[in-house]
């Protein structure tokens, strides 16, 4: 009987100590200073990707400095409006509707900007 009583007393002690350890409130986290934000550095500008299309010259508009070219995308006819500078606008004045042209362009700010337009 002594062994049983000793065993029960030991189990009760372990239970009390374990319960006390689990019931302790966690220590409040020490506030850490937020890391200082990195200096606002300019992200390096993305290099513009130059692309080419070949299509049919539709028209040139001097007022808006644009050229419209009809081409095929996924087996469907599509038109692309490309911005041009004054020198290029003068050069495309020789083109007639229906001429086959090759347009080299870059996409900048959602617009297509022609770098070269030649007869194909």
Average pLDDT over the chain, rounded to whole? 81
**Pairwise CA distance, residues 117 & 107, whole Å:** 15
Q: Identify whether 105 is part of a domain.
A: yes
Q: Tell how many helices (H) and how many strands (E) occur in the chain.
A: 2, 5
Within 24-116, residue ranges assigned H as helices are 86-92
Whether residue 64 lies inside any domain: the answer is yes
* Cα–Cα distance measured from residue 102 to residue 118, given in angstroms and rounded to the nearest whole number: 5
* In-domain check, residue 11: no
Residue 43 forms part of a structural domain: no
With respect to residue 96, please indicate whether it lies within any of the assigned structural domains. Answer: yes
Is residue 63 one of the residues assigned to a domain? yes
CATH number, domain containing residue 76: 2.40.50.320
Number of domains in the chain: 1
Structural contact between residues 99 and 67, judged by C-beta atoms closer than 8 angstroms: no
Residue 60 maps to a domain: yes
Domain that holds residue 63: 50-119
**Structural domain includes residue 8:** no
Element (H, E) at 2: helix 2-23
pLDDT tens, residue by residue, 63-111: 999 999 999 989 999 999 999 999 999 989 899 999 999 999 999 888 9
pLDDT, tens digit, for every residue of 81-94?
999 999 999 989 89
């Amino acid at each position: 009987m002594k062994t049983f009583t000793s065993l029960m007393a030991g189990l009760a002690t372990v239970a009390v100590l374990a319960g006390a350890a689990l019931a302790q409130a966690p220590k409040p986290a020490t506030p850490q200073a937020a890391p200082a934000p990195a200096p606002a550095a300019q992200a390096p500008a993305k290099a513009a990707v130059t692309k080419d299309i070949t299509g049919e010259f539709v028209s040139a508009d001097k007022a808006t400095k644009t050229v419209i070219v009809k081409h095929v995308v996924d087996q469907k006819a599509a038109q692309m409006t490309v911005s041009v500078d004054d020198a290029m606008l003068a050069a495309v004045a020789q083109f007639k509707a229906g001429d086959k042209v090759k347009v080299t362009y870059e996409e900048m700010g959602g617009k297509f900007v022609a770098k070269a337009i030649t007869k194909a």
